Amino acid sequence: MVLKKLLKREKEPVYYFFSGKGGVGKTTVAAATALWLSEKKKVLIISTDPAHSLGDSYDVPIGGTVKKLRKNLFGVEIDPAKAMEEYKKKFMPKIESVEQFKGLGIEEVFDMAGMTPGIDEVAAFDKFLQYMHSKEYDVIVFDTAPTGHALRFLSFPEVLDSWVGKIIKMRLRFSGVANLIRKVLPFGKEEEKQQLGTEELDKLKLRIEEARKILTDPERTSYNIVTIPEQMAIVESERAIKTIEGYKIPIKNIVVNQIIPPNQRCGFCKSKRDEQMGRVKEIKKKFSTFKIVEVPLFKKEIRGFDSLSKLGKEMYD
């Protein structure tokens, strides 16, 4: 796989994203990659999948705060609910106060119920941005949600940028009624009044702009599609690639997982493998501009550091 070229960069963190249809093994591949990279670099692996399975893959509990898994390897599972609470404290006035500003246009901005994507996902993306801009790690690996959710996640820079811009414009528009707002909103102390200001919003906007640069920089970002040699998975991968390329995010590898090894003594195994190899041939033709990485189906479930280490060596050594 195309990893070593990116690993040569020392000054800035590099990023590896893994995405794919549910059930293709993307979390396993991401976990194995992070473990393999941690032999030489300081690595953080982040799960942005609401149905977290990263801890199951390593066979250790992880949770919503960064946890050291072993030397040079750290992990975190972003909790949308927790992220939303942090987010609301930073950006949102108390909901009951919004009614008092009908006609001023403020309710349009803070009407999160009708917003797409949902506020919990936006909050999770803000947390994602915070980790993305961390200088503490050499490499950050993202285990994203199944393809559809992940693609919605990738659109957040544009969504958030537009939303944050709207809030900033609203603040400028209503700067003349700032005193009225301060009187009505329950912000007594001067430092609390900053919640109505734009310091956090401006910081978020800068993080969004930087994230857009990072996600589209082939020297820093590698997006990897994990699939299996089955028709439905190929179709979904093709659809995902078109969408990702629309965001100008560089795709480096197509990981074809769970390929049955040769076994001439097992008629069923041989028949199934022949069918799979036909799909692999189709994948190589459809995605000829990408590096195709073939990963065999292991005899036992890949779970825990030992088996993940073996998978990492299979893919990269």
Is pLDDT of 215 > 90? Answer: no
Where does residue 220 rank: exposed (0-12), middle (13-18), buried (19+ CB within 10 A)?
Answer: middle
* pTM (2 d.p.): 0.77
Once rounded to an integer, what is the mean pLDDT over residues 289-295? 94
Range in 118-122, 201-205, 250-254, 290-294 with the lowest mean pLDDT: 118-122
Is pLDDT of 138 > 90? Answer: yes
- When pLDDT is cut at 50, 70 and 90, the band that residue 39 belongs to is very high
Range in 71-85, 88-102, 230-244, 293-307 with the lowest mean pLDDT: 88-102
Domain with 236, as residue range(s), is: 4-316
Residue 129 pLDDT: 76
- According to DSSP, the β-strands at 291-296 and 251-259 are parallel
Contacts of 119 (CB under 8 A, 6+ apart): 84, 87, 88, 112
In order, the DSSP letters of 115-165 are -SS-HHHHHHHHHHHHHHT-SS-SEEEEEEEEHHHHHHHHTHHHHHHHHHH
What are the residues facing 256 on neighbouring strands? 227, 294
- When pLDDT is cut at 50, 70 and 90, the band that residue 94 belongs to is very low
Residue 113 pLDDT: 37
Once rounded to an integer, what is the mean pLDDT over residues 266-284? 95
Once rounded to an integer, what is the mean pLDDT over residues 27-31? 96
Q: What are phi and psi of 254, to 5 degrees?
A: -110, 115
Residue 7 pLDDT: 55
Q: Pick 284 or 51 by higher pLDDT.
A: 284
Domain at 212, CATH number: 3.40.50.300
Is pLDDT of 192 > 60? Answer: no
What are the residues facing 139 on neighbouring strands? 14, 43
Is pLDDT of 191 > 50? Answer: no
Where does residue 24 rank: exposed (0-12), middle (13-18), buried (19+ CB within 10 A)?
Answer: buried
- According to DSSP, the β-strands at 67-70 and 73-77 are antiparallel
Report the distance separating Cα 100 and Cα 92, nearest Å. Answer: 15
Once rounded to an integer, what is the mean pLDDT over residues 83-93? 63
Q: How many domains does the chain divide into?
A: 1
